[in-house]
Amino acid sequence: MGALCLLTLLCGCTAHASSDTSSGGDAPRGQSSAAPARLGRPAASQRVEFIPERLILPGHAGAAVLPAGTVDGVLRVPENVQHVGWWDGSARAGEPFGATVIAGHIDSATEGIGFFVRLRKIKVGDTITLRADSHWLKYRVTSVRKIPKKALATDNQALKQKGPHRLVLITCTGNFHRDRGGYDSNLVVVGRPLGLAH
């Protein structure tokens, strides 16, 4: 397959080259009849990189993934607690570097329990899948941590866009302070890709 592609390419290359030179005998004469230039094209090994549209947790529990932006330093995850948000400044699935960050509600005052309550059950070794159209990439969970909210921004894994590619799922956990309207900690799940995206 690869060899065939290469052969085709080389043949195309030779054919063009022979008719490329202005002194070449193959080109029709008398008018500006230069041969077409070769078109550059992607190699077969082009990596797939995609914006996730669906997240599947163990037990086939799936949620829609919507792009989420940062406003005044706060990541605006979807209001619908059954949806989760992909930080639009983070890596797309399948990129070679950086975290693909997906955050979602554990609960909300208006909508109750959220999809990411399931992260409480996630264990190291579990498999999580990201999808979009026909693309997919599976990740294996390598760590599940509870960190103080203030430590999230400087965490070495959670939001950083350097270092090896990983999936980072974030929700809230810890003590709930009703007067402050939220929890005091974040639950951070990190997974490593199982190969390249398809």
* Ramachandran angles phi, psi of 3, nearest 5°: -65, -40
Of 34 and 124, which CB lies nearer to other proteins in the complex structure?
34
Q: Which residue lies nearer to other proteins by CB, 18 or 127?
A: 18
Q: Considering the complex, state which of residue 1 and residue 133 has its C-beta at the smaller distance from other proteins.
A: 1
CA distances from 90 to 116, 152, 159, 168 (A): 19, 15, 8, 10
In the bound state with other proteins, the residue whose beta carbon lies nearer, of 119 and 131, is 119
Q: How far is the CB of 142 from other proteins (least distance, A)?
A: 19
Q: What is the CA radius of gyration of the chain?
A: 24
Which residue type is seen at 62? G
Residues 6 or more apart whose Cβ sits within 8 Å of residue 98: 90, 91, 160, 161, 162, 163, 165
Nearest distance in Å: CB 74, other proteins: 5
Cβ at position 133, least distance to other proteins in Å: 18
Please give the structure tokens belonging to residue 42.
Answer: 């992607």
3-state SS assignment for residue 77: coil
CB of 55 to other proteins, least distance (A): 14
The CB-of-143 to other proteins minimum distance in angstroms stands at: 17
Residue 172, beta-bridge partner list: 186
Strand, helix or coil at 60? coil
How far, CA to CA in Å, does 129 sit from each of 60, 86, 121, 142? Answer: 10, 14, 16, 14
Output the smallest distance, CB 93 to other proteins, in A: 11
